[in-house]
Structure 1
Amino acid sequence: MRIMNWRFFITTLALDLPLEEIVDEVRDFDERFGIILQKHVAVLGWWCILNFLAGIPGLALLDGWLWYFLLMNLVWSAINFAIALLMYNHVFYRRFKQGNVFQRFEVQRHVEKILLLNIGLEVGYFFAGLYLLTLGRLPDIAYPELWRGFGWAVLLQAVYMFIHDFSFHLLHVLNFRKCKPFLEEMMETQMEVRRQGA
């Protein structure tokens, strides 16, 4: 497993993402795809770091529903940071680097599908957060502060991750659209070869 350098979180956010420039569709696609993946991991990592920085001292200073809110955010951040590490190692440094350009197109489409699945899960998390908040407002429920804190935490994470994944899904779609003329031309050439060979 490749070790993630902390400098990655700072330098990656400053990388330019030239979605409008097209010089070579395939090479530009590869470069943009790599940058989008790096930015995805970096932004997710920063979200986790910010949750850690707010949550750890907050657990020592706060109580009531805010304590449970910070506790749940720390749990979510630990899970999300583990996912960011796996993405950093698996998608960017292993699978993306292997194969030819058409396999990388498939990898990019696979990433889009995973993001759509995540967006659907985040909608479910949103409703789970609302459910937990509702439990916290019931008059005879045990530990109402726990339910309220967990509910607000799940809502916050669901909304943030929905925006995060939707934004990066959109970037992947825009990147793929830049290569669509190249792919259509390749398909036409392939069809022409089949017609002449038949």
Structure 2
Amino acid sequence: MDVLVPMKTWMWTLLLVMLIAPLGADAQDLITFNQDRLDINRSGMYVLGGWAAGNMALSGWQYYQTDGSTKYFHQMNVFWNLVNLSIAGIGYYGAVTGATDLDLANSLIEQRKIEKILLFNAGLDVAYVTAGFLLRERAKVKTDRMDQFTGWGNSLILQGSFLFVFDLVMHQIHRNHASELLNGLDVSVGLSGLALRYTF
């Protein structure tokens, strides 16, 4: 079934399709879909929390065993991963207490929200890595704090790189998960507007 929609109203039509068409999902399918989304988040928080705890343990010990820029590298790792561990704890709590009995529209809203958060975070991760390189360059000019800026810069590059990969992998896993619900919906753009086709 093809429906041509003028470009001005395609969003309203898509919303109507989401609210009216069952998209092949009954209440139990939606509960399973939402539980799977929360399980993905919970697993991700295990990874993030494990990374944070491992960094804090290793760098906490190495901080007292090293000097120079390496000491500052480990110092920043500990501070940075205190934040990561807090985020992992909050994220884990949200994953184990999140609602699964959402209707179709709210299921899609929650799915889209986590995808957007992960993409936003990936952008922040690039900023962290960039800040790390800037700190390393600043160390060449500010020689009295060269070790500190070099160590902190190296830590930001490492932590930002890990988070960038983590956020992109999590985003892709969530995108694959979303396709389970939307695999019957086909949207295409033509000269006369937008075509929506759903296979029941």
**Offset from partner CA, 1:129-177 (integer Å, 9 cap, x none):** 1000111123x53210000000000000110000000000000011101
1:48 is aligned, of 34, 47, 52, to 52
Pairs aligned (count): 162
Partner of 1:112: 115
Partner of 2:99: 96
1:163 aligns with 2:153: no
Give the secondary structure class of the aligned counterpart of 2:183.
helix
**1:32 aligned partner, one-letter code:** D
Q: Percent identity?
A: 26
1:122 is aligned, of 120, 125, 142, to 125
**1:37 aligned partner, one-letter code:** N
- Say which structure is richer in helix: 1
Partner of 1:73: 77
TM-score by length of 2: 0.74
After TM superposition, list the pairs within 5 Å mapping 1:12-51 onto structure 2: 26-51=30-55
Kept after mapping to 2: 8 A contact 1:45/1:81 = yes
Partner of 2:177: 175
- Say which structure is richer in strand: 2
Structure 2, unpaired ranges of 5+: 1-27, 187-195
**1:127 aligned partner, one-letter code:** T
C-alpha displacement at 1:59, in angstroms? Answer: 1.2
TM-score by length of 1: 0.74
Question: In structure 1, how many angstroms separate the alpha carbons of the residues matched to 2:64 and 2:138?
Answer: 26
**Offset from partner CA, 1:68-91 (integer Å, 9 cap, x none):** 00010101100011011111123x
**1:126 aligned partner, one-letter code:** V
Structure 1, unpaired ranges of 5+: 1-23, 190-198
After TM superposition, list the pairs within 5 Å mapping 1:127-138 onto structure 2: 127-138=130-141
Asked which structure has the greater CA Rg, the reply is 2
**2:173 aligned partner, one-letter code:** L
